[in-house]
Amino acid sequence: MYVTAWDQLPEVEGLPNNFRRAAAGREMGVNHIRWVHPTELPPHTHEDAEQAIVMLSGEIAFTIDGTDMTLRAGDVAIVPRGAVHGGHSIDGEAAFVEVFAPLRLENLVGFLGGPSMPNQEDPA
């Protein structure tokens, strides 16, 4: 058994204004995600895992396989393996937990492989 607090894990900015703290077991990964407006998550897929999103606070615009929705605190969304998905912040800050099964090693600090998400264009 392993127990920690989110604030004891390093926070990494993976995309502009998109912050992640990651914890992992042997078969699944759990991330605490914080989006600060404005942030954009480009459309992408995970061929290697199914994803659950559990909204904690705020709201985000999210698309799964062409279906647009607004996710708010208390909502749960499931992203099937291989589904095209992405989203953006709406206002202020939003926080949610992601669960990946099986574990996605690329979410861990120090992972040396390549990311599955496309590079975001630099708006500058």
Fold of 17-107: Jelly Rolls (2.60.120)
pLDDT of residue 121: 52
pLDDT at residue number 105: 81
Please report, for the chain, the start and end positions of each structural domain, with discontinuous segments joined by +: 17-107
Which one has a higher pLDDT value, 112 or 53? 53
pLDDT of residue 119: 56
- Lowest average pLDDT, out of 91-95, 106-110, 114-118, goes to 114-118
Whether a cis peptide bond, with omega within 30° of 0, leads into 38 is: yes
Percentage of the chain surpassing pLDDT 90? 73
Per-residue model confidence (pLDDT) at position 43? 97
